[in-house]
Amino acid sequence: MPELPDVEGFRRVAEGAAGRIVRSVAVRDAQVVRNAEASGFDAALRGRRLGHPRRHGKLLLLPTGSGRGFPAVLLHFGMTGMLLRTDAGDPPHPHDRVVVSLDRGELRYRDQRKLIGIALLTEQGGWQAELSRLGPDAAAIDRDELRDRLGRTRRQLKAALLDQTRVAGLGNLTVDEVLWRARLHPRTATTDLRAPDWRRLDQRLHGVVAASARAGCVPPRPSWLTGHRDERAGRCPRCATELTSGVLSGRTTVWCPSCQRA
């Protein structure tokens, strides 16, 4: 599932198309469109110049024009979505749901499972409405706000970090990596964290998010928990203890029973 690091990679893809003029928009599967007729995208965007993309959490906004940037396309990536920049002559992929043809190349929204889709936003209020349902972006939140937003109610730490209304952008892989690096058990109650725990959680969260955003994914490096979570009898890269897994908050969760004691 695309998380903040993946969407940051998609933002860089879109940034490479900033300044290009939209020649046409082909919605090849109307099921991915949330709030408009498929033909409405072409009518709204044709002839407009793409602006600089904006990301918040797992959302990506593709604005147009030199003013406030509307109309704009809002991209949700669901479980399997991605954004690619291709040459105009590249063969179509069966999961290319929307193709934006530019004066040079194309942007393609590709999604196998079609769980959420895209929306056409005609004014700033639409973008603000989307943001109002989300917490601060995980890459920008500071320690005090992190503690305030997660510590308001007694919840397991894994569930609290995955709650997009608390902190936007964190997904399953990112949260497991952060908690492993912070030496915190995913079932730890947020109300049980002390000042050193919050400091360590904040530092590790920003470190993991920054490194992953540069890579465009949570990288499966040998020194990372992510590099071992899918191994049979995988071992902790820090202490070599066999890793434990279970389902928490509906997600497969991996942790080290030695480094992350309950």
CATH of 143-255, one of 1.10.8.50, 3.30.420.40, 3.50.30.30, 3.30.2310.20: 1.10.8.50
Say yes or no to pLDDT of 244 above 70.
yes
User: Percent of the chain at pLDDT above 70?
Assistant: 99
Instruction: For 108-129, write each residue's pLDDT tens digit.
Output: 999 998 888 899 999 999 999 9
User: Is the distance from CB of 21 to CB of 47 less than 8 angstroms?
Assistant: yes
Q: What is the pLDDT of residue 67?
A: 64
Active-site residues: which are they? 2-3, 58, 251
Burial of residue 254 (number of CB atoms within 10 Å: 0-12, 13-18, 19+): buried
Q: What is the pLDDT of residue 66?
A: 65
Looking at residues 173-178, what average pLDDT do you find? 98
CATH of domain 4-132: 3.20.190.10
Instruction: For 220-240, write each residue's pLDDT tens digit.
Output: 999 999 999 999 999 999 999
Q: What is the pLDDT of residue 8?
A: 98
Burial of residue 180 (number of CB atoms within 10 Å: 0-12, 13-18, 19+): buried
Say yes or no to pLDDT of 249 above 90.
no
The DSSP result for the chain, as a single string, is ---HHHHHHHHHHHHTTTTPBEEEEEES-GGGBSSS-HHHHHHHHTTPBB---EEETTEEEE-BSSSS--SEEEE--TTT-EEEEE-TTSPPPTTEEEEEEESSSEEEEE-SS-SS-EEEE-SHHHHHHHHHTS--BTTT--HHHHHHHHSSS--BHHHHHH-TTTSBS--HHHHHHHHHHHT--TT-BGGG--HHHHHHHHHHHHHHHHHHHHHTS----TTSGGGTTTSTT-B-TTT-PBPEEEEETTEEEEE-TTTS--
Instruction: For 67-95, write each residue's pLDDT tens digit.
Output: 679 999 999 999 999 999 999 989 999 99
Domain residue spans in the chain? 4-132, 143-255
pTM for this entry: 0.94
Say yes or no to pLDDT of 36 above 90.
no
Looking at residues 127-149, what average pLDDT do you find? 96
Name the band, by pLDDT with cuts 50, 70 and 90, for residue 191. very high
Name the band, by pLDDT with cuts 50, 70 and 90, for residue 192. very high
